[in-house]
Amino acid sequence: MAEKETFKLVANNKKAYHDFFIEDKYETGVELHGTEVKSLRMGKCSIKESFIRIESGEVFIYGMHVSPYEKGNIFNKDPLRVKKLLMHKQEIRKLTGQVAEKGYTLVPLQVYFKNGRAKVEIGLAKGKKLYDKRADIAKKDQNREAEKEFKIRNLG
């Protein structure tokens, strides 16, 4: 009998999909201290301004804001502290090689709980130029118009 996976989304980074072409996605664990987990469970997290760096064979996330837990007095940590992401060595080595290539970067895509453990989905991304963003917006508008026409045609 297969166990059912539980999945609870905490934070989503929609801006990453707007600013980057996401080439590949990785699921990582995140090293949290004390009350940060409780705060995450309450959904108090933001990854809008965060970014990821690989330093000396370890992966760190900068700017991930985990609000202090209200009931957690002295045990609260700095909300913007640098957090270590947990990945296998061979994955880190592979990412290091790809980030060394021209134009690749690592961006956090979402924070969620999977089977009770906090996870961060990171994406290997290439930056979009302004004309790419405009093309995406135009395509979205075109799809929206087509859907609207389709609805009107089917209702009438």
pLDDT confidence of 88, banded at 50, 70, 90?
Answer: very high
pLDDT of 4 reads: 67
> What mean pLDDT comes out for the span 64-74?
76
Q: Report the distance separating Cα 128 and Cα 105, nearest Å.
A: 12
Give the 3-state secondary structure of residue 89.
helix
pLDDT digits (tens, 9 = 90+) for 9-49: 888 888 888 788 888 888 999 988 878 888 888 888 888 88
Enumerate residues 6+ apart whose C-beta is below 8 A from 104. 23, 98, 124, 125, 126
Q: Report the distance separating Cα 105 and Cα 38, nearest Å.
A: 30
Length of the chain: 156
> What mean pLDDT is reported for the chain?
82
Q: Where are the domains of the chain?
A: 7-128
Which has more confidence, 19 or 86?
86
The CATH architecture annotation of domain 7-128 reads Beta Barrel (2.40)
Give the closest residue to 17 by CA, choosing from 101, 137, 119: 137
Neighbour count for residue 133 (Cβ, 10 Å): 12
Report how far apart, in Å, the C-alpha atoms of 90 and of each of 101, 134, 153 are.
17, 37, 54
pLDDT > 80? residue 51: yes
Phi first, then psi: what are they for 56, rounded to 5°? 45, 50
Asked if residues 106 and 99 have their Cβ atoms less than 8 Å apart, the reply is yes
